[in-house]
Amino acid sequence: MVRVWPKFVLRLIVLTALVVAPAGPSAAQGREDLQRLAVEGDWSILKRPNGACLAVPTEKAAAPLSLVFAAGPAAVIYTPYDAGIGGFVILKVDRSDPLYVMAASIPDPNRIDVPADLIPEMWAGRRLILEIAPLDRDPEIHEFSLSGLSAAVSWLDKPRCRARTQESEQ
């Protein structure tokens, strides 16, 4: 079965792929070159032309935000908040204590790096709740399903998901 992705989701995925992975010849390749390798729970594993993989939610519930995992694992939330973010960004896994990130400490309102100490909680959790106050609109609450996340992230370390370097391509 082939899934048709809405345009805004493809744009977020391509933006993510360009920002998360190192720049180079592979970053300039076509946008349609992302290949879906697998689905784990509510997560899809997408492969870039350079061989690196990303884990992204398959759901649309959190639109217009995009939560992306790359090798490391590193997690990033991409937002459309060009005007900035006010106060705090609040991240919470299930019913755990919330983690407050001061908006002033976020250098780019379009990219929120998920704190590394929250990632293990995400692997064991069921949902991530994000509360955010964009400067140009009302505060928002977004939820991401974490079902299948640990299995999806495990794909990122598989040999078929390792980015090729220029030397290995020659």
**Exposed/middle/buried for residue 50 (C-beta within 10 Å: 0-12, 13-18, 19+):** buried
The full set of domains in the chain, from first to last, is 7-169 (2.60.40.1880)
Helix/strand/coil for 27: helix
- Mean of the pLDDT values across residues 105-132? 92
Based on its alpha-carbon atoms, the radius of gyration of the chain, rounded to whole angstroms, reads: 16
pTM, whole model, 2 decimals? 0.73
- The pLDDT score that the predictor gives to residue 115 is 93
Task: Convert the pLDDT of each residue in 49-98 to its tens digit.
Answer: 888 899 998 865 546 788 999 887 789 999 999 999 998 899 999 999 99
